[in-house]
Amino acid sequence: MNRLLLLVPTLLASGITLANSSVDLPDTVVTASRQAQSLASTPAATTIFTRADIDRLQPTSIVDLLRRVPGASITTNGGQGSLTALSLRGTGSTQSLVLVDGQRIGSASAGQASLEFLNVDQIERIEVIRGPRSAVYGSDAIGGVVQIFTRRGEPGLNPRASFAVGSNDSYRRHVGLSGGNQRTRFDLGASLNETGGFDRTRHETAGDEDDDAYRNRAFNASLIHSFSDNLEAGVRLLEQSGNTEYDLFGNPEDDFTLSTVATHLQWQVNQLWTSRLEAGHAEDKRDSNYDFFSFTYNTYRDSASWLNTLQLNEQHSLQTGLDWYEDRLRSTGSFIETERFNRAAFVQHRFASERFQTELGWRHDDNEQFGRANTFNAALIVPVAENQQLVASYGEGFRAPTFNDLYTSFGANPNLQPERSKSYELQWRGQIQDTQLQAAAFRTDIDDLILLDPFFVAQNISRARIHGLELSATTDLAGWHTMLAATWLDPRDRTTGNLLPRRPKRLVSVDTDRQWGVFGVGFSVMANSERYNDPANQQQLSGYGLVEARANWNMTSALRWDLKVGNLLDKDYGLANYNVDGQTYAYRENDLNAMLSVSWTPDF
């Protein structure tokens, strides 16, 4: 919650202030351990997107950014605003934790986060942790953790505005203002994005042949105040609301609201002890409207945390934390229970010397419904050469059953146990001249997978084993800034031997950009191998490769033009299937498209 403003890397024993966060630096990460630390000191495989990356890559959505993460695959039901699922390292869409300013945004009823509704104009930074972090965060962090940080203020007065127009009657507008001084900083931003869309389905049923539009209104606000060099408080707000249309027996549409509020109070008690109190609220509300009926699924989550970091000496640091959150559901559906709470405590120790570093962590969760769960993690970091490290790690994870799994009147099972995982990873990372390299081999075993039995009742009836290899590189070669990621996965249901559905076995992405003075160009290539849509591996979705091109022109110091052309080769592809009248079809994805934008960022 607001961890961009967690201002003290606990590896430092002195000279600590709250005024200017070290997370301004690209080689600093907050999400891995809920405190700011250098990338070299965390054992977690990490991908970071800064605001500069967002401006350079010109993504139309957060999903466009996450496609570039090693080991990440995306499933959508056709186009912007459609149902979207993220898989990290071959795990399921409900087995990775998604945070906005520290707040969990996964739906308590369905389990997965509504990533399709998050607007990139409100985002400052994204951190993706690949691998289990349940010993720090508890439930859901089996495949990894995605944390999205909203915009924050900078000293001075900094207005911004942008407008874009593109294919399929698409329009984007954004205005914002940030400012402040050394004690107080603020940011305000508002956006309106619209697209007429395209027909997401391929069959000819009446009512499903129209274009499926999407409209999103977004607002963000933040206020951070330092009462002294040692005491700081802050609040952040993000709200996304709008309407998305889709095809299913007529002309259905969803009205949605996705919002978070995060507050914090941080006190540097002395050079050894930092204490932080956090509290927040998140909502995921959706009204599904059909021709003759409608459904409402609204989930609410209140949370609070108390985090303490103790720098015992130059080598030893200790972090302790208490977490609490409560989920509530308001729905037109019939649920046996509509509320539950979770309480947790965790402790993590880090040791750092010239020869090696270690990390040991343990967490205990007590859930009102399924009872207690303990998770453990351990890691060893060993320097093997100048600017090179070997990392060996072990991590446990679990996923709590959702309201749909436990409480709905049809198909629920109140006796379900959490899904549990064990992960093993060996990582090499290093820097050779201007090139940063990383390779990771991992294995994840998941027990008690929750699936539907032949009578459509949720049961702990399956096991999965995932093997994987990730390679990534970032380099500047002949003036071209290039990022490359490649992943090989073998995600299998151990009960049947089949591949887990909607997970490709091979993924590649390449981004390369170059700036010549006021002009710049860039290209991206993203490719996925074939995948199966169903657990029985009977419905195969073809692999695909996409090419994007982009250009920018800094017309003045305050005025910038951007042009992006997506799906340059006009590839016809689908990421998920649907069935109508016994026939199977693939959802359509966007074909050749373009967007032209202009942004104004004066420097006062």
Q: What is the pLDDT of residue 8?
A: 31
Neighbours of 488 (CB within 10 A): 16
Distance between CA atoms of 439 and 566, rounded to whole angstroms?
29
What pLDDT was estimated at residue 1?
A: 36
Query: Is 514 within 8 Å of 521 (Cβ atoms)?
Result: yes
d(CA 557, CA 123): 22
Cβ atoms of 416 and 406 closer than 8 Å: yes
Model pLDDT, residue 604: 76
Whole-number Cα distances in Å, 464 to 105, 431, 490, 491, 534: 26, 35, 10, 7, 15
pLDDT at position 6: 32
Per-residue pLDDT reduced to its tens digit, 313-355: 999 999 999 999 999 999 887 888 889 999 999 999 999 998 9
pLDDT in tens, 222-256: 999 999 999 999 999 999 999 999 887 667 889 99
Cβ density class 399-429: b for 16+ within 10 Å, e for less: bbbbbbbbbbeeebbeebbbbbbbbebebeb
- The answer on pLDDT for 155 being more than 70 is yes
Give pLDDT, residue 249.
65
Q: How would residue 207 be classed by pLDDT, with cut points 50, 70 and 90?
A: low
What are the contacts of 174-177 at 24+ separation with CB within 8 A? 174/121, 176/121, 176/151
Question: To 10 degrees, the CA torsion angle through 80, 125, 31, 108?
Answer: -30
Which of 144-153, 209-218, 258-267, 275-284 is predicted with the least confidence, judged by mean pLDDT? Answer: 209-218
- pLDDT digits 0-9 by tens, 45-104: 999 999 999 999 999 999 999 999 999 999 999 888 999 999 999 999 999 999 999 999
In terms of CATH, what superfamily is 3-600? TonB-dependent receptor, beta-barrel domain (2.40.170.20)
Q: Are 247 and 199 in contact (CB under 8 A)?
A: yes
| C-alpha closest to that of 142 among 491, 506, 396, 437 | 396
Classify residue 182 by its DSSP letter: S
Q: Average pLDDT, stretch 369-389?
A: 92
Q: Do 395 and 133 touch, CB atoms closer than 8 A?
A: yes
Residue 22 is predicted with a pLDDT of: 39
pLDDT in tens, 169-182: 999 999 999 999 98
Residue 7 has pLDDT above 80, yes or no: no
At a CB cut-off of 8 Å and minimum separation 6, what does 457 contact?
A: 411, 412, 413
Q: Are strands 103-104 and 37-38 parallel, antiparallel or unpaired?
A: unpaired
pLDDT, residue 404, reads 87
Per-residue model confidence (pLDDT) at position 144: 96
10 Å CB burial of residue 203 (0-12, 13-18, 19+) is middle
